[in-house]
Amino acid sequence: MNFEAKISEVKAFLLQFQDQLCKGLEHSEASARFISDGWERVEGGGGRTNVLSGAVIEKGGVNFSHVFGDNLPASASKIRPELANASFDAMGVSSVIHPLNPFVPTAHLNIRLFVAYPKAQAPIWWFGGGFDLTPYYAFEEDCVSWHQVAKSVCEPFGETVYPKYKQWADEYFYLPHRNEHRGIGGLFFDDLNESMWGWDFEKCFAFLQNVGHGFIEAYLPIIQKRQDMPYTAHQREFQAFRRGRYVEFNLVYDRGTLFGLQSKGRTESILMSLPPDVKWGYQWQPEAHTPEAKLADYILQARDWV
């Protein structure tokens, strides 16, 4: 199979996976369904943004994009300055789900492929992505099951893969200015090519597919288990304050957001990750010795869950 055919195979999987994830998420809703919105990028490429607003998922997005151009954006070439002027292909699926019920955690997934085409050189490719969970009121059994699936995703590829990508997630989904983790992590990987583990293109692609399917396996049971739990206005308000941390991370640190904006992608699709309702309070802190305080004091600490 030539290289162009491999790229086409990845794109076909991503489009199919977008549909699969949307159908899985719709099972939680009595009647709400994703609305699909196709878009084109003037500089080259486009995508398909699927958005859901329902009784269980207050705001959910599953976005496919495939963009290309003459100059790799700074967020993608930062650690590869030699590729700064290379043309590029970038494709992926990203999803952020913000449930209405504060007992159902927010979840994020991204799986992507970058290809750079330096002048007079062979294409340089790498995969990236991962998934992470952001609870508001954490149930330890959910944290354990989340990481059990993350570990099972990695096990066929070697016993050191999960510890490496779990640690990377702990380090990446972190707000230095708050000195706290965004959630309980999961998996994060980037720069996945032959030089990382010695895997060829096909094996790296197989890992990407495992990550995508693992997200569905890990997250949908948590939604189903927690979506009908009763909650109070106070708990909903706490969720809004914690969502503020999510916004801060995505707008200040998230590589995908930065790449999308720098590559002149579609702003509405890039910012679909932001929650619909959010709060900030001056010097706001949860009351000590409460379930709200336990989140930061115990749950949002990097630890081995499995």
216 labeled part of a ligand binding site: no
**Residue 272: φ, ψ to 5°:** -65, -15
Q: What amino acid positions are annotated as catalytic residues?
A: 108
Answer yes or no: is 234 a known binding residue.
no
Q: Is 27 annotated as a binding residue?
A: no
CA angle (34, 37, 40) in 5-degree steps: 155
Task: Provide the β-strand partners of residue 117.
Answer: 87
Distance of CA 150 to the CA centre of its chain: 13
DSSP result, 130-178:
EEEEE-SS--HHHHHHHHHHHHHHHGGG-TTHHHHHHHHHHHHSEETTT
Q: Are 82 and 72 in contact (CB under 8 A)?
A: no
The amino acid present at 224, given as its one-letter code, is Q
Q: Is 66 flagged in the annotation as binding?
A: no
Distances (CA, A) of 50 to 98, 153, 251, 260: 14, 25, 21, 17
- Known binding residue 110? Answer is yes
**Binding site feature residues for a divalent metal cation:** 98, 108, 147, 177
**Binding site feature residues for substrate:** 94, 110-112
**Binding site feature residues:** 94, 98, 108, 110-112, 147, 177
